[in-house]
Amino acid sequence: MHIGLFVPCYVDQFYPDVAVATLELLESCGMQVEFPSAQTCCGQPMANTGCAEMAVPLAERFVEIFQPYDFVVCPSGSCTAMVVHHYDHLFSGEKRAAFEAVRDKTLELSQFLERYVPAEKLNFPSFPHRVGLHQSCHGLRELRIGACSERMVTGNDSVGELLERVPDLTRVTLKRADECCGFGGTFAVAEADVSVAMGLSRVADHAAADAEVIVAGDMSCLMHMQGLMRRDGSPLRVMHLAQLLCGRSIDINHDAKEQRR
């Protein structure tokens, strides 16, 4: 399969190893992966702040760039959900068919691995640590990659199933496993106090469960919680799912300055 790697802006700027780990992971599964260097922001910041019309040129550019690929894979539930669920009202007329074709082949990383990679190719390195899984709201409530407590149905758990395949990994039990971390992109700026309170609550849940590392499919949620943990001097670490599945060190996102403290 020919995969177009869709890398979110914040991953590109702050956590580039997440993109590299995603590339390595897909290639280890036998995929032909290409990073189209012309890609830009998907337009989510504009849409989140009520300026949806400003996202139209970015959405059209996204469709143009990713049309040639068999699948578009993204290490982010948030940016995937923008394409799959929020581009819909940005396209009409003759551009609509091209958008729908790209939308239908755009998947979050764990979705793609679960649906299209044979189980015998999903062999991961040992990770002998206690892991708390944070499921992002976009992943749970829009992409349905896990079960939400507000819905009385059983859902998929693509991230959890991948973690179960990692040798020596221990997944801790959280009290409120599907609660929002409070980041929400521009929500964290407009409602900073509420955002911080929500983030601290999530970190406390992971700490109380004796997790060593918080793992998620969205680095934006982890960035928010990592900032709060850094200020409190918490020993907890954060990792993207792709980094864990590639066998990165538990300290991969813990910078040298923090380690000297």
What pLDDT digit, counting tens, does each position of 27-69 carry?
A: 999 999 999 999 999 998 888 888 888 999 999 999 999 999 9
Residue 109: name the closest of 64, 131, 139, 67 by CA. 139
CA–CA gap between residue 76 and residue 177 (Å, rounded): 18
Give the helix, strand, coil percentages of the chain, each rounded to 5: 50, 10, 40
The percent of residues above 70 in pLDDT, for the chain, comes to: 97
The DSSP bridge partners found for residue 171 are 131
Q: Which of 171-175, 247-251, 255-259 comes out lowest in average pLDDT? A: 255-259
What long-range pairs does 11-20 form, CB within 8 A, spacing at least 24? 11/75, 11/76, 11/219, 14/219, 14/223, 15/219, 15/223, 15/240, 15/253, 17/243, 17/248, 17/252, 17/253, 18/75, 18/219, 18/240, 18/242, 18/243, 19/75
Q: So where are the chain's domains?
A: 2-116, 124-246
Does 196 score more than 60 pLDDT?
yes
- Architecture of the domain made up of 124-246: 3-Layer(aba) Sandwich (3.40)
Does 172 score more than 70 pLDDT?
yes
Residue 198: name the closest of 219, 217, 179 by CA. 179
- pTM (2 decimals)? 0.93
The DSSP bridge partners found for residue 134 are 216
pLDDT for the residue numbered 27: 96
261-to-200, 233, 234, 235, 258 alpha-carbon distances in Å: 21, 9, 11, 11, 5
- Using DSSP bridges, classify how beta strands 237-240 and 213-216 pair: parallel, antiparallel or unpaired: parallel
CA–CA gap between residue 1 and residue 103 (Å, rounded): 17
Residue 3: name the closest of 27, 23, 33 by CA. 33
- 173 — pLDDT class (breaks 50, 70, 90): very high
Of residues 214 and 154, more confidence is placed in 214
pLDDT for the residue numbered 50: 85
Does 188 score more than 90 pLDDT?
no
pLDDT for the residue numbered 258: 58
